[in-house]
Amino acid sequence: MDAVLDNAVRQFMRLPGVGRRTAQRYVYHLLRQGGEQTLALASAVEALHTKIRLCSVCCSLGESDPCGICTDSRRDASLICVVGETSEIPVIEATGRYRGRYHVLGGLLNPAAGIGPDKLTFSALLRRINPQVAEVIVALDASVEGDTTALYISRLLKPTGVRVTTLARGLPAGGSLDHADKVTIGLSLDGRVQLT
Amino acid sequence: MHGIQAVHLTSVQLRGFRSYRSASAVFAPALNIVSGENGQGKTNLLEAIRLISVGRSFRGATDGEMVSWGQPSGTITGAIDDGPVRQIVLTIAPGERKQGTIDGAALNGLAELVGVLRTVAVSSDEIEQQFGSQTGRRRMIDVMISQVDRGYLTELRRCRTIVAQLNAVYRDPANDDALCDVLERQLAETSLRINRRREAFFHDFCRAVERHFSRLFGTGNLVLESRPTLPGKGELSDLDHAVDVLRESRRSARRAGFAVRGAHRDRFRVLLDGRDIESHASKGQVKIAYLAWKLAEGDFIERETMRSPVWLIDDPFSELDARRAVALLVSAEQRGQVILTNARTDGVEMLKNGHAHHLRVHDGIVEGGRDV
């Protein structure tokens, strides 16, 4: 393969989930497209690097620093929702039920993969806790790494006295009790809510 | 046991698996005898069936070892009659994750495979590699409970992940104690849940093993004993105590570079007349204890699922004396489907208590289907 093509294939292979064959398909697809589309893609990729920055308050990725959410005075500054990645903010926003602010950790604790507390934005989170903040909602994956990170945050923030909560776990909406596993039912019982 | 539903493997197809480039075998619902000279692939056939049952080889082989020489991957397809007919397809390739389908739907993790085809495997490899050690017996118990309780398997996987994280923290002096505290609490929680399930299993299982042993052996008092490394019987009230014990063992864990306590380190002893069989029993006694364990395993699967397991018995006549081998086979045959490999014919002659489906393996090809 020519050096230019080979280089392009290798660059695509660096993306998650993309192997050599898929990378080759992308490259030949771009070659079949007009130059305008390929240049538009190149420009969009370049802009990711030159125009996207880290918000110095919440550590999310966006075009402005501080980001739009952090500067939006209509958002409730007493609530901070902690997420693993910026890509999870739109998921919470899509519920339409949260009007507070966010904090992005930049990943989850995973010491076996070399991600210890120093690799995440815990100290920035700690700096944000002031008397105005009433609650920190930890919204992380329901995995070992997510649980470890949530417990670590709870321990980290304990001296501040701020209320730390986590998302409820249990039966999915529309789920049948008959088909749920014991762990899920147990968590649902732990997180039961009062009806009257 | 009354009301037990018979489940049986109706067929298996192998491609690129060990000595089989491409082969298929059809099985009868009761006794199946797979015969052939040594080295022709009889045990490979049982290994393939066990692999689609619990996701791992009973010989402790890696995927690379099980794929035929020169082939990129191996595929096992099994059809199971469990009322409706179910189909499992499992593909293995060296260095890659196992992939497969159940009834055409892609597996979302190997855990989904476990419990579809429940098997009891009886093999001399397992005696040497698993039954002969306290940790090996823990693995045997874990596979056994996982076959009837997928929640238990989920908990084991969770425990394994936490242990990997904790080990990494113990090995890196830069990691702070706060992270140790968090992970040790998670390990204590998951260990207590695992121990609670093991406790519930262990009482009836021990009595069954002891009963089968005295029936097979006549004399001697066989006792199973669990030795958990964390205190408590799995109650939530035990959690704080378990966390304290883990914290107290942190220094030795850091020195060792791994978590020295937890459900992943629990041990299971087998005592014959009060003495450990690993160091004090003869080879013959260990084999009888193993057989008693296997018969109790069948009891357990039947009691928990109201379904018979499929018995995979590898060459019993070369490992056991004829009387005990026949006792095992008759007991297994009365309970459900048996797939038995056999290099000798004299043992089979002793099994003239009904029809057997006879298959012959020769040079990676399965021939047969005739009744004897």
* Nearest Cα residue to A142 out of A170, A165, A119: A170
Interhelix angle A144-157/B177-217, rounded to 10 degrees, is 140
Q: Is the pLDDT of residue B370 over 50?
A: no
Strand extents, DSSP E, chain B: 8-17, 20-26, 31-35, 74-81, 85-92, 99-102, 105-106, 119-122, 222-227, 267-272, 275-276, 310-314, 338-342, 356-362, 365-371
Mean pLDDT of B310-324: 79
Give me the residue from B150, B154, B182 closest to A151, CB to CB: B182
All domains of chain A, ordered by start, with CATH? 3-51 (1.10.8.420), 70-166 (3.40.1360.10)
Give me the residue from A116, A144, A182 closest to B162, CB to CB: A144
Q: Does residue B99 belong to the interface with chain A, where contact is any CB pair within 8 Å?
A: no
Lowest mean pLDDT among B34-43, B49-58, B80-89, B225-234: B225-234
Give me the residue from B150, B168, B185 closest to A111, CB to CB: B168
Find chain B residues with C-beta within 8 A of A185's C-beta: none
B292 assigned to some structural domain: yes
Q: Which of B276, B304, B332 is the last residue of a domain?
A: B304
Separation in Å, CA of B186 to nearest CA in chain A = 8
Q: Is the pLDDT of residue A23 over 70?
A: yes
Q: Is the pLDDT of residue A61 over 50?
A: yes
Cα distance between residue B130 and residue B340, in whole Å = 20
Chain B, nearest residue to A119 by Cα: B175
B125 assigned to some structural domain: no
> How far are the Cα atoms of B229, B271, B284, B295, B307 from residue B291, in angstroms, in the given order?
27, 15, 11, 6, 20
- Is A144 in contact with B186 (Cβ distance < 8 A)? yes
Give me the residue from A152, A156, A181 closest to B151, CB to CB: A181
Give me the residue from B158, B167, B181 closest to A144, CB to CB: B158
H or E stretch covering A34: none
In this structure, what CATH number is given to the domain that contains residue B181?
Answer: 1.20.1050.90
H or E stretch covering B290: helix B283-305
pLDDT greater at residue B352 or residue B41: B41
Task: State how many domains chain B has.
Answer: 2
Mean pLDDT of A120-135: 97
Lowest mean pLDDT among A45-54, B21-30, B34-43, B115-124: B34-43
pLDDT at B279: 85
What's the distance, Cα to Cα, between the start and end of chain B in Å? 28
In this structure, what CATH number is given to the domain that contains residue B56?
Answer: 3.40.50.300
Q: Is the pLDDT of residue A130 over 90?
A: yes
Separation in Å, CA of A161 to nearest CA in chain B = 17
Give me the residue from B165, B172, B179 closest to A144, CB to CB: B165
Separation in Å, CA of A140 to nearest CA in chain B = 16
Q: Quickly state the pLDDT bin for B160 (edges 50, 70, 90).
A: very high
B183 assigned to some structural domain: yes
B367 Cβ partners below 8 Å, 6+ apart? B359, B360, B361
Q: Name residue B312's beta-bridge partners.
A: B121, B339
Q: Quickly state the pLDDT bin for B344 (edges 50, 70, 90).
A: low
Instruction: Indicate if B249 and B336 belong to the same structural domain.
Output: no
Best A140, A182, A190 residue to mutate vs chain B (most B CBs within 10 Å): A182
Separation in Å, CA of A154 to nearest CA in chain B = 10
B146: helix, coil or strand?
helix
Lowest mean pLDDT among A37-41, A87-91, A135-139: A37-41
Cα distance between residue B68 and residue B150, in whole Å = 31
B129 assigned to some structural domain: no
Find chain A residues with C-beta within 8 A of B182's C-beta: 148, 151-152, 155
pLDDT at B372: 39
Instruction: Indicate if B182 and B225 belong to the same structural domain.
Output: yes
Cα distance between residue B92 and residue A143, in whole Å = 26
pLDDT at A174: 84
pLDDT above 90 coverage of chain B, percent: 55
Q: Does residue A126 belong to the interface with chain B, where contact is any CB pair within 8 Å?
A: no
Find chain B residues with C-beta within 8 A of A151's C-beta: 182, 185-186
In our burial notation (b when 16+ CB lie closer than 10 A, e otherwise), range A160-190 reads: eebebebeeebeeeeeeeeebeeebeebbee
Dihedral sign for Cα atoms in the order B81, B86, B89, B90? negative
B341 close to B42: Cβ distance less than 8 angstroms: yes
> How far are the Cα atoms of B27, B314, B363, B372 from residue B369, in angstroms, in the given order?
8, 19, 17, 10
Q: Is the pLDDT of residue B328 over 80?
A: no
B239: helix, coil or strand?
helix
B269 assigned to some structural domain: yes
B239 assigned to some structural domain: yes
Separation in Å, CA of A36 to nearest CA in chain B = 40
Q: Does residue B179 belong to the interface with chain A, where contact is any CB pair within 8 Å?
A: yes
Mean pLDDT of A134-156: 96
pLDDT at B133: 87
Give me the residue from A116, A152, A183 closest to B151, CB to CB: A183
Cα distance between residue B72 and residue B70, in whole Å = 7
B78 close to B117: Cβ distance less than 8 angstroms: yes
Instruction: Indicate if B337 and B295 belong to the same structural domain.
Output: no
> How far are the Cα atoms of A75, B83, B132, B198, B294 from residue B58, in angstroms, in the given order?
59, 27, 14, 21, 14
Strand extents, DSSP E, A59-114: 61-62, 76-83, 100-104
B130 assigned to some structural domain: no
B124 assigned to some structural domain: no
Give me the residue from A112, A117, A181 closest to B164, CB to CB: A112
Separation in Å, CA of A41 to nearest CA in chain B = 33
Q: Quickly state the pLDDT bin for A126 (edges 50, 70, 90).
A: very high
Best B150, B165, B239 residue to mutate vs chain A (most A CBs within 10 Å): B165
Lookup result for tokens 């993790």: B109
Instruction: Indicate if B87 and B147 belong to the same structural domain.
Output: no
Q: Is the pLDDT of residue B345 over 60?
A: no
Calculate the CA dihedral of residues B283, B289, B293, B298 and round it to 10 degrees: 90
Mean pLDDT of A48-74: 94
Lookup result for tokens 């390739």: B93
Lowest mean pLDDT among A125-129, A158-162, B149-153, B344-348: B344-348
Neighbour tally for B45: CB within 10 Å:
27
Instruction: Indicate if B95 and B154 belong to the same structural domain.
Output: no
- Is B169 in contact with A155 (Cβ distance < 8 A)? no
B205 Cβ partners below 8 Å, 6+ apart? B224, B296, B300
pLDDT tens-digit map of B187-201 = 999 999 999 999 989
pLDDT greater at residue B1 or residue B357: B357
Selected residues 128-187 of chain A with any CB under 8 Å from a CB in chain B: 144-145, 147-148, 151-152, 155-156, 181-183
Cα distance between residue A37 and residue A25, in whole Å = 16
Cα distance between residue B303 and residue B210, in whole Å = 17
pLDDT at B352: 52
- Is A183 in contact with B155 (Cβ distance < 8 A)? yes
Q: Is the pLDDT of residue B4 over 50?
A: yes
Q: Is the pLDDT of residue A76 over 90?
A: yes
> How far are the Cα atoms of B210, B286, B316 from residue B219, in angstroms, in the given order?
11, 14, 22
Dihedral sign for Cα atoms in the order B18, B19, B21, B26? negative
The pLDDT mean for chain B works out to: 88
Separation in Å, CA of A149 to nearest CA in chain B = 9
A177 close to A163: Cβ distance less than 8 angstroms: no
Selected residues 27-66 of chain A with any CB under 8 Å from a CB in chain B: none
- Is B154 in contact with A183 (Cβ distance < 8 A)? yes
Find chain A residues with C-beta within 8 A of B165's C-beta: 109-112, 144-145, 148
Selected residues 142-161 of chain B with any CB under 8 Å from a CB in chain A: 150-151, 154-155, 158, 161
pLDDT tens-digit map of B77-119 = 999 998 888 999 999 999 888 999 999 999 988 889 999 999 9
Instruction: Indicate if B69 and B175 belong to the same structural domain.
Output: no
Instruction: Indicate if B84 and B218 belong to the same structural domain.
Output: no
Mean pLDDT of A70-96: 97
Question: Chain centroid to CA A19: how far?
Answer: 25
Cα distance between residue B347 and residue B319, in whole Å = 12
Neighbour tally for B339: CB within 10 Å:
26
Separation in Å, CA of A170 to nearest CA in chain B = 15
pLDDT tens-digit map of B289-300 = 998 999 999 999
pLDDT greater at residue A86 or residue B351: A86
Q: Which domain, by its residues, includes B42?
A: 1-118+307-372
- Is A111 in contact with B172 (Cβ distance < 8 A)? yes
B287 close to B319: Cβ distance less than 8 angstroms: yes
Q: Which of B274, B304, B334 is the last residue of a domain?
A: B304
Cα distance between residue B295 and residue B289, in whole Å = 10
- For chain B, the 3-state helix, strand and coil shares in percent, each to the nearest 5, are 50, 25, 30
- The phi and psi torsions of A109 (rounded to 5 degrees) equal -60, 130
Q: Name residue A64's beta-bridge partners.
A: none
Lowest mean pLDDT among B129-133, B200-204, B366-370: B366-370
**Pairs of CB atoms within 8 A across A/B:** 55
A102 Cβ partners below 8 Å, 6+ apart? A58, A60, A69, A80, A81, A82, A83, A89, A92
- ipTM for the assembly: 0.80
pLDDT at B205: 93
Give me the residue from B150, B165, B181 closest to A155, CB to CB: B181
pLDDT tens-digit map of A168-194 = 988 888 888 888 877 788 888 888 888
Cα distance between residue A157 and residue B160, in whole Å = 28
pLDDT at B371: 43
Instruction: Indicate if B183 and B35 belong to the same structural domain.
Output: no
pLDDT above 70 coverage of chain B, percent: 93
Helices (H), A33-158: 35-51, 68-71, 89-93, 122-128, 144-157
Q: Name residue B80's beta-bridge partners.
A: B9, B86
Lowest mean pLDDT among A92-101, B65-74, B346-355: B346-355
Q: Which of B304, B322, B353 is the last residue of a domain?
A: B304
pLDDT at A148: 97
Cα distance between residue A41 and residue A33, in whole Å = 11
Mean pLDDT of B345-365: 70
- Is A111 in contact with B176 (Cβ distance < 8 A)? no
